[in-house]
Structure 1
């Protein structure tokens, strides 16, 4: 059958998509905690930087962010005498991570703020510093509350990786477009990648569910 000859190239593209999704999700999670906690900082400079980052990357298109990093940043670098050209994979991972990190930062901020004031007062009564109260009281309670939202963001990030094909990154969407142009068989090719994306999304959801359950058990063990 003709459709079987599509599986090799599409599998290669799927592997690139998986790497993009994994690296950008991990880096995006780091940005989420960094800027989510930063937005709650009493330091005005840190708080301002965090707010600007969150609003800029939530308020602009991921596609524009991707194009800016890949096409515009090198021009800025040339103007100041610095080579700022990014390989397609680096530009793709960074754009996706910065974007998902901005949304994740609001999840982190909201979860931390949902911890009741009584918990902070108890920590203060035990002579905890603000940092100790954050890491030993607030975060252990807030992290399980973040997990459902982080699961949704991880699936969304997987789907957003398709935009990386627009900077000639050979991911699943790019391979599919190459095959479509060559074989003129849009229905079969796009049906296959539809199921491939769906399968990868199911795996991501399952992994996040396992992580969510693990975090829940960790929280229970700390009580």
Structure 2
């Protein structure tokens, strides 16, 4: 056990990688969520059908297998990704597929009168989104987005299978070198909990900041 404690700085050094994966994957997931969510709301078949297939594929298949495809199979087709890039890609696409339903649901939850008012005021599509619809929909998205963000944080542990040096990979390395599983895995359990608590707090702060905007819009 003392030997495992000596290795703790090695595990802690992986926190930066885990945070980077969460931020990069989260940014990509947010972009994908809005793109797929709005595409699914479209009445145009060539938009909403591929968006539905995309969403069903990434929600219905294993993230582990997706990661192996991104890292080991895509190079066969001339697309080579680093382990970190493959991890961000799969985290972003998979997380975005789930979050796209949040976007779609929030938009559908808006009162029909809001859409009718936009038409009555002769607002363009982007004006409707920017000034009327999104300010009301965003506060509805934040709570489920918070859950998705925490899930994405926890999913970063998946990238350890392609040797990304995050805290999970480093904990496995310490376990292999010392033969002790308790200390390294208790350590990363605590780290994930702390990071998730911080992330949830940031999302609650964003929710509070958006609430006055939604009230003003109404």
TM-score exceeds 0.5: yes
| Alignment correspondent of 1:203 | 198
- Which residue is 2:213 aligned to? 218
Greater shift, 120-129 or 21-30, is seen at: 120-129
Paired residue for 2:65? 64
Give secondary structure in 2 for the equivalent of 1:109.
helix
Question: What does 1:4-153 align with in structure 2 at a 5 Å threshold?
Answer: 4-75=5-76, 77=77, 83-153=78-148
> Does the residue aligned with 2:13 lie in a helix, a strand or coil?
helix
Counterpart Cα distance in 1 of 2:133 and 2:202 = 25
1:134 Cα deviation (Å)? 3.0
- Runs of 5+ unmatched residues, structure 1: 78-82
Write out per-residue CA displacement over residues 8-33 of structure 1, whole angstroms, 9 at most, x where no aligned residue: 11111111111001110111011111
Contact 2:4 2:178 in 1 (8 A): no
* Number of corresponding residues: 217
- Mind listing any 5+ residue stretches in structure 2 that lack a counterpart? none
- The match for 2:166 is 171
TM-score using structure 2 length: 0.95
- In the alignment, what sits opposite 1:183? 178
How many Å apart are 1:4 and its aligned residue? Answer: 3.7
Post-superposition offset of 1:124:
1.0
SS of corresponding position for 1:128:
coil
Cα RMSD, aligned residues only: 1.4
Cα deviation 1:41-79 (Å, max 9, x = unaligned) = 12221212211111111111111111111111112x1xx
The CA distance in 1 between the partners of 2:5 and 2:178, in whole Å, is 13
Q: C-alpha distance in 1, partners of 2:33/2:203?
A: 16
